[in-house]
Amino acid sequence: MPRTALPALLLLGAFTSPGRGAEPPKGALPPAVEFARDVQPIFAKHCVSCHGPDKQRGGLRLDRSADALKGGDTGKALVPGKPAESLLLKKLTIEDAQERMPPNRDPLTAEQIRALTAWVEAGAKWPAVEGAADAHWAFQAVTRPAVPTATAQTRNAIDAFVAAKLNASGLALSPEADRRTLIRRLKFDLLGLPPTPEEVEAFVNDKDANAYEKLVDKYLASPHYGERWARHWLDTVRFAESNGFETNQLRPNAWHYRDYVIKALNDDKPYDQFVREQLAGDTLGADAATGFIVGGAWDEVKSPDITLTLNQRADELHDMIGTTGSTFLGLTVACARCHAHKFDPISQLDYYRIKAVFAGVQHGERPVRTGDTVARAKEADRLRAQLAELEAKLAALEPLADPAATDARRVSVNARLNTERFKPVRAKFVRFVTFETNSVEPCLDELEVFSFGSKPVNVALASNGAKATSSGDYPGSPNIHSLPFINDGKYGNGRSWISNKSGRGWVELELAEPTVIDRVAWARDREGRYTDRVSTRYRIDVSTDHESWIVVASSDDRVPFAEGASAVPSGLTGAERAAWVKLTQQIGGFRKQIEELARGQLAYAGRLMVPEETHRLHRGDATQKKEVVGPGALGELGPKLTIPENATDPERRAALAKWITDPAHPLTARVMVNRLWQHHFGTGIVDTPSDFGRNGGKPTHPELLDWLASELVAPSVGEEPLPNPSPKGRGAEGKEGSAPPSFLGKGAGGLGSSNPWSLKHMHRLIVTSATYRQASRASDAGLAKDAQTRLLWRYPPQRIEAEPLRDAVLFVSGKLDLKMGGPGFDLFEPNGNYVKVYTPRKQFGPAEFRRMVYQQKPRMQLDDTFGVFDCPDAGQIAPKRNVSTTPLQALNLLNSTFVLQQAGYFAERVEKDAGAAPSAQVNRVFLLAFQRPPTDKERTAATKLVKEHGLAALCRAVLNANEFVFVD
């Protein structure tokens, strides 16, 4: 057996509750007990199934000394040096076979018990086991290391650590890059956009010694910073705006989470708060942030098969668990679904504890608090008041109000809207009963009950406290036809209730409190798309006590249903009919506006329910439930966490979020600063950014990683001198000059100060370092010793990703729309298929000229042009993008409809800026695309191309150049 497997099998005792039993057997104790020889075989054979890493009966876990000595729910199992006080030894000698450990099995022999007794007598010492949890570097507490001695090139502590590592390999930092290179690198890095020629010239000619630092602060303060860095985060958390699976329908309100991330980054929201809000934003005034939890794929096609349904729900929660672990902790927690993690100290029980934390979260939308909520609410109130006036006018036209009418019956029911008016009556319960339909099972898209008075309120809404029950719910598509949709305030077939019986069924609403009501509105489909399943014979009853019922409306006084019959009541004069039609159209318009206002406040941020009971599943099989598991976190990593089993859904998530963001947690800060480093340099200090476990990569600069992590949590205040206080420094052009600053970094508020958990502070530290400001030119010595540039002897050149590449094309063509926020644009042709078909657009206009972070990104479907540039499809987390070179990339940049269009716009811009002279046009093209003038050779070749093939041909060629798509 390999030594790393020992922790799962060693030292497992048997203990549940104290009991009366015999004293440990008397007799000569073994002269010298060896743990591996005498104790471990006993525990491995008799106790592993009850008190191992996957199960801890009685709250006792014995595979680690800390837990074993702590004991279980009822006392100390092991008391070193005191066998008589060790409950484990007592339980081994009880006569009752059910009480004795191990239960209902042969008892331990006297020799085995003597060996255990001797071990306890000798102190119950546990041997050090190779691969124990506290031996892995990432699981140890973060301590702030001493900064190495500075060198002449050192600008801050980062450089001191990097230079020390380079020196040990016989290498050194490269000279500083020129200013044109630096500004292009910095702007793409922080904002995802190229600098303008005017920005470049201003920076190159800025004589201020702090010109570069001023540029850093300017870019960090830009709203485009959040757009750039949100894209990195959205990759990490697998965000997309469709469900995935076979239907892959869009989520029209998922964009709220994307906007939340952008704003949070722009505001420099402390990272610990950023984490807490994504897990429990509903408790912190950041509702849209919980879009993180439900950001993954969701199988909306349900089935009456209980096994499939259970597995679908288990998979939903598995995604939430896995993404939380990988994003914030850099751990593959999802690997513990079926058994204890094979490499990291994560038990199967830990997995199900975290599952219990998310057991109240369901995929879907819910109302959220947004900045314009008050304004929307006021507008909705105004529209409702006007709607009430119109409905009162419509009621006056109903034939029943005129006894002289030729036909006193009401109009026949229709699929779109039916209003039942009656004398005011007090009700606590309202029941709609269907006896007959025009086809199959009855369907209601919304059942509304209005209070009596000058300002009627729909008291049937779940958000107003009403609860729904039914005779039975349609099993076929619960994601579309489900009881909660009967009073969720949303219209249409996609949010409706269907009975489980053909032609009949009932649905009942219990109001929050007894209310005087005078109107009920119902429909089959208010969007007007479906006309089947209409309740043609029905009755509406009300009650105050659920025992005595009163019929307030029915189909008895309506004209018999006929397919295609007019919805206008009979018995109206020509003027009355015209008024009826006009009023119903106005009412429909007002209802639609009110619905849109309400919909604007909905976000795909999860429906938060009462947590369902969580069981440990045998080998992860959703049909094989074992013991009930309460909420919690990882038992062996991070601070201890106890969450009461009766904790509410928000309390569970808030507790987990607090545990993750505890400053003492060994992983949270390390993982985040490594992500920042990765996106600045192309590869993280740890090259597996979402796996800091034993199977992940090892840090190239472990001391630097810990220094950065400690700086994120508790930044240095004021000036913290480097070990060499006055090293000789260089200016912004890499020349000998003034000494570098003696402080370790600048905070979000300025020189030498920062708030805890500030990401902008960390960005500033990194990009102002000499390490970041190096030239990218390769050297033979560097390539020979470190071909991958992991030691950072130069700045590693990087190809810009798909999104900033598309943005850059639009930027230089002059067509980029910098509008921020709101619903995104679609790069696919619209269609309403049940199974969403994604047909790429071939024509692009201003609506598609926004930054690509605002694309309405579907899952499992990439943009036709830029998707080939290693753009993740959000089928799973993508903490690190691949960088490939393929023929399709070159062909798309050369021949795609989009790039050809933008090359034309680019040419129009250049001609407007530079005039008709080819030489001037060439100069402007190079300045816009490459932030530099052309060389003489380039100018000659480019001018010839313009004269022979036109300016658009040059623009097209430039957009395909390596210099355009790479940053060095």
* 646 exposure class (CB count in 10 Å sphere: 0-12, 13-18, 19+): exposed
* pLDDT tens-digit series, residues 339-374: 999 899 999 999 999 999 999 999 999 888 766 666
Question: What's the mean pLDDT in 255-274?
Answer: 97
| Own/partner pairs, 51-55, CB within 8 angstroms, 24+ separation | 51/12, 51/13, 51/14, 51/15, 52/8, 52/9, 52/12, 52/340, 53/7, 53/8, 53/340, 53/347, 53/348, 53/349, 54/339, 54/340, 54/347, 54/348, 54/349, 54/616, 55/349, 55/616, 55/626, 55/627
Respond yes or no on whether the N-terminal peptide bond of residue 611 is cis (omega within 30° of 0): no
Q: Using alpha carbons, list the distances in angstroms from residue 604 to 243, 295, 376, 633, 828.
A: 11, 8, 19, 26, 21
Residue 395 is predicted with a pLDDT of 65
Unique residue bearing structure tokens 């079926």: 338
Q: How far apart are CA 132 and CA 800, in angstroms?
A: 41
* 953-963 tens-digit pLDDT: 999 999 999 99
Going 413 to 417 to 421 to 424, the CA torsion angle's sign is positive
For 704-732, what is the mean pLDDT?
Answer: 68
Check pLDDT > 60 for residue 44. Answer: yes
The answer to whether 90 and 18 are in contact (CB under 8 A) is: yes
What value does the mean pLDDT take over residues 773-781?
96
Amino acid occupying residue 152: A
pLDDT of residue 748: 34
- Give the H or E element holding residue 541: strand 535-543
- Return the residue matching tokens 């506006």: 593
Q: Rounded distance, CA 202 to CA 212, Å?
A: 11
Q: Give the pLDDT score at 835.
A: 82
Average pLDDT of every residue of the chain: 86
Model confidence at 967, in pLDDT bands (50, 70, 90)? Answer: very high
User: Above 60 in pLDDT, residue 396?
Assistant: yes
**Left if phi > 0, otherwise alpha if psi is -120 to 50, otherwise beta: which for 75?**
left
Question: pLDDT higher for 215 or 596?
Answer: 215
**193 CB burial (10 A radius; 0-12, 13-18, 19+):** buried
| DSSP calls for 736-797 | EESPPPSSS-EETTEETB--TT-HHHHHHHHHTSTTTTB-----HHHHHH-TT-TT-SSPPP
pLDDT band at residue 851 under the 50/70/90 scheme: very high
Q: At what angle do helices 348-357 and 306-324 cross, to 10 degrees?
A: 100
By CB atoms closer than 10 A (0-12, 13-18, 19+), residue 269 is buried
> What 3-state DSSP class applies to 423?
strand
Which residue has 């309405």 as its token pair?
Answer: 856
Nearest to 645, CA basis, from 852, 361, 353, 435:
353
> What confidence score (pLDDT) does residue 373 get?
64
| Residue predicted with more confidence, 107 or 186 | 186
The three-class DSSP label of residue 374 is helix
Tell me what percent of the residues of the chain surpass a pLDDT of 90: 65
Q: What Cα–Cα distance (Å) separates residue 778 from each residue in 736, 787, 885?
A: 21, 9, 20
- 7: three-class secondary structure by DSSP: helix
Predicted local distance difference test score (pLDDT) of residue 565: 56
Q: Which residue has the tokens 């890493």?
A: 53
Instruction: Specify whether the CB–CB gap between 507 and 444 falls below 8 A.
Output: yes
As a whole number, mean pLDDT of residues 605-610 equals 94
- The secondary structure element, H or E, covering residue 388 is helix 373-396
- Report phi then psi at 435, rounded to 5: -110, -20
Residue 784 predicted with pLDDT over 50: yes
Tokens 């209601």 belong to residue = 444
Q: Does position 271 have pLDDT exceeding 50, yes or no?
A: yes
Residues facing residue 447 across a β-bridge? 522
In this predicted structure, the answer to whether residue 131 has a pLDDT above a threshold of 50 is no
Mean pLDDT of 451-467: 88
Mean local confidence (pLDDT), 13-18: 32
pLDDT in tens, 669-682: 999 999 999 999 99
Model confidence over 568-602: pLDDT tens digits? 665 667 787 788 778 777 777 776 677 666 655 78
CB atoms within 10 A of CB 514: 12
The Cα 527–Cα 591 span in angstroms is 11
Q: Given this model, what pLDDT does residue 453 score?
A: 85
Dihedrals phi, psi of 423, to nearest 5 degrees? -65, 145
Residue 723 is predicted with a pLDDT of 54
DSSP secondary structure, 692-735, as one string: -STTSPPPSSHHHHHHHHHHHHS---S----SSSS--EE-TTS-
Beta bridge partners of 420: 520
CA neighbor of 462 nearest in space, from 538, 387, 370, 367 = 367
Please tell me the distance from the alpha carbon of residue 892 to that of residue 900, in angstroms, as a whole number.
10
pLDDT of amino acid 3: 33
DSSP assignment, residue 565? -
| E strand intervals along 28-141 | none
pLDDT band at 338; cut points 50, 70, 90 = very high
pLDDT attached to residue 69: 67
pLDDT of residue 106: 81
CA–CA gap between residue 751 and residue 757 (Å, rounded): 17
Between 122-131, 380-389, 489-498, the lowest mean confidence (pLDDT) is in 122-131
Segment among 361-365, 576-580, 750-754, 939-943 with least mean pLDDT: 750-754
- φ/ψ of 450, rounded to 5, equals -110, 135
Count other C-beta atoms under 10 Å from residue 5's C-beta.
11
Residue 288 burial (C-beta neighbours within 10 Å; 0-12, 13-18, 19+) = buried
Structure tokens at 636: 């062996």
